[in-house]
Amino acid sequence: MDIIETIKEQIANNTVLLYMKGSPNAPQCGFSARAAQAVMACGEKFAYVDILQNPEIRANLPKYANWPTFPQLWVGGELVGGSDIMAELFEKGELQDLIKSAVQKTDA
């Protein structure tokens, strides 16, 4: 399977998906740590992909997403953004609402 197809499949099959450096419990950069903390604080299950373990995804996702940096949060098949956007949305309470409503739609 081609790497873009793999990325599309990951996004389609996971309501909340975080592409990051490292894992939520062992992030490998400050931005990924902030992003993972914000998503975990929303209280819903989420999937993640460690781009350091997946160099093909690391190389191709920025082109596919039209977003140059990591981490990247995808909710309900849509790119939310990077750690600054996630932190901003979290502080306003919008990230929690976005994630909860996407998860509820999937569970319904």
Residue numbers belonging to the annotated binding site for [2Fe-2S] cluster: 29
**pLDDT at 108 exceeding the cut of 90:** no
Yes or no: say if 3 and 51 are a contact pair by the CB < 8 Å rule.
no
Residue numbers belonging to the annotated binding site for glutathione: 21, 58, 70, 83-84
**pLDDT at 98 exceeding the cut of 80:** yes
Alpha-carbon dihedral angle through residues 63, 98, 15, 85, given to the nearest 10 degrees: 30
Q: Structural domains in the chain?
A: 3-103 (3.40.30.10)
**pLDDT at 107 exceeding the cut of 90:** no
Residue numbers belonging to the annotated binding site: 21, 29, 58, 70, 83-84
Whole-number Cα distances in Å, 28 to 33, 65, 103: 7, 21, 27
pLDDT of residue 106: 83
Q: Stretch 18-37: mean pLDDT, rounded? A: 97
pLDDT tens digits, residue range 42-94?
A: 999 999 999 999 999 999 999 999 999 999 999 999 999 999 999 999 999 99
Instruction: Indicate the pLDDT class of residue 104, thresholds 50, 70 and 90.
Output: very high
